[in-house]
Chains A and B, each alone.
Chain A
């Protein structure tokens, strides 16, 4: 009897706790919604004020310190900054300077607040793009929080603050992989100004480690600076590790300098199939007709991926399509397979069927090959 009573009381307490938690959750959600509505209302009001300030030089609408410190004002400011350029942007920058908006954010960044508030300050600084905050952002490239470091690098790239490139590359060298990748995105934002610091880092360090120099080389590729090709050739001549070789070839493919062709072609004979496969793709991207014999030979490679990449590359190079048609007759059935697939991917199969149904001849080898495959 007593046991039943205790069980009933226990059930009742659990029920009461559930109800209380549910009510608390509903209450918190209501408060959050109400705060968001209030935030949106204030943001809209500030958009109006900022619109008048950027449109009328003589606008007398007051911007109070309380407004300038409001997160809704900051959101409105960032929104307006995103869509304007030219003279009105200068007006907006004057508002930011006059009302100490950036200075407040820099103070918040340096404060002992938890990550959330400091990160919001870093994001806002990156978005606002106020040149006076560059020294603070450089300082916080060494912040204790990785996300803050990333935002500072992004902000400096948005400002095109080239004096910060060496500091960003220095951090890039020591960051963990996920943070380093986001630093790489920022470095791309600097364009060719970041090429030489990245190349210097890759050249000095590629014997000691793989991941950092490889990402540096890929980042240089994304910048697409033709002037970097020669230095990447030199790195390749030094016989780097597999990962650095692959990254170098990948970068050369994206940069697509015709001078890289003679450096990449011999790599189709490298002992490592990954290098041969990547080199085939790079030659396709560079797209020089002189590569056609090399790529045709690579169709007979022992490795499937090399054959496949060589065939895809031929489809991108002028006169490569003719070489693929020739390869359909190759004594090596694997070469013929790779060629037929690349031709089909390039739309040649559809075109061939259309030509044959229109009564022309010459496409039979491709159609016969694809039918035998089916």
Chain B
């Protein structure tokens, strides 16, 4: 069963994704801030990481950078309310494989996750 980390400071997003991804057959763990997301992603052996950009402690972009420095190669998908082209471009530049804006369509998110696993 593929293992996914959902890192978002919104309890609503964590709850929704835990339920929907669990139903789709994924094992889901969650983190509610940047440093926790980084340490879990570094040691957790995840197959895919879903990251918010604006999280307490560490921005999503910085988490990606630190993970790449640590040699973690799991695909990272940015799921964020930040609606500007610069952040999207920078995320992809730092190694994210995809960028989805909130509000999001769950079916689209599931399809994008499936294509990466």
Using a CB–CB cutoff of 8 Å, the interface residues on chain A facing chain B are 44, 47-48, 51-52, 54-56, 76, 79-80, 82-89
Q: Mark B94-109, 1 if CB is under 8 A from A, else 0.
A: 0000000011111110
Q: Are B13 and A55 in contact (CB under 8 A)?
A: no
Q: Are B19 and A79 in contact (CB under 8 A)?
A: no
Q: Are A86 and B105 in contact (CB under 8 A)?
A: yes
Q: Is B23 an interface residue (CB 8 A)?
A: yes
Using a CB–CB cutoff of 8 Å, the interface residues on chain B facing chain A are 10-13, 15-16, 18-20, 23, 102-108
For this complex, 28 residue pairs linking A to B, each with C-beta atoms less than 8 Å apart, are: A44-B11, A47-B12, A47-B15, A48-B15, A51-B16, A51-B19, A54-B20, A55-B19, A55-B23, A55-B106, A56-B23, A76-B12, A79-B10, A79-B12, A80-B16, A83-B10, A83-B16, A83-B103, A84-B104, A84-B106, A86-B104, A86-B106, A86-B107, A86-B108, A87-B107, A88-B106, A88-B107, A89-B103
Q: Are A85 and B15 in contact (CB under 8 A)?
A: no
B15 contact from A51, A56, A87, Cβ within 8 A: A51
- Residues in A with CB closer than 8 Å to B16 are 47, 51, 54-55, 80, 83-84
Shortest distance between the CB of B8 and any CB in chain A (Å): 9
Q: Are B105 and A80 in contact (CB under 8 A)?
A: no
In Å, the complex CA distance between A196 and B66 comes to: 52
In Å, the complex CA distance between A190 and B103 comes to: 19
Q: Are A88 and B105 in contact (CB under 8 A)?
A: yes
- Residues in B with CB closer than 8 Å to A87 are 105-107
In Å, the complex CA distance between A77 and B102 comes to: 16
Q: Are A83 and B19 in contact (CB under 8 A)?
A: no
A84 and B103 in contact, given A51-B18, A54-B16, A55-B20 (Cβ under 8 angstroms): yes
How many A-B Cβ pairs are below 8 Å?
Answer: 59
Q: Is the interface of A mostly helix, strand, loop or mixed?
A: helix
Shortest distance between the CB of B43 and any CB in chain A (Å): 27
> Which among B11, B19, B102 has the greatest number of chain A C-beta atoms within 10 A?
B19
Q: Are B20 and A51 in contact (CB under 8 A)?
A: yes
- Residues in A with CB closer than 8 Å to B107 are 86-88
- Residues in A with CB closer than 8 Å to B20 are 51, 54-55, 88
Q: Are A82 and B19 in contact (CB under 8 A)?
A: no
- Residues in B with CB closer than 8 Å to A55 are 16, 19-20, 23, 106
- Residues in A with CB closer than 8 Å to B15 are 44, 47-48, 51
Closest residue of chain A to B13 (Cβ to Cβ) is A83
Q: Are A47 and B106 in contact (CB under 8 A)?
A: no
In Å, the complex CA distance between A89 and B10 comes to: 18
A85 contact from B11, B12, B19, B105, Cβ within 8 A: B105
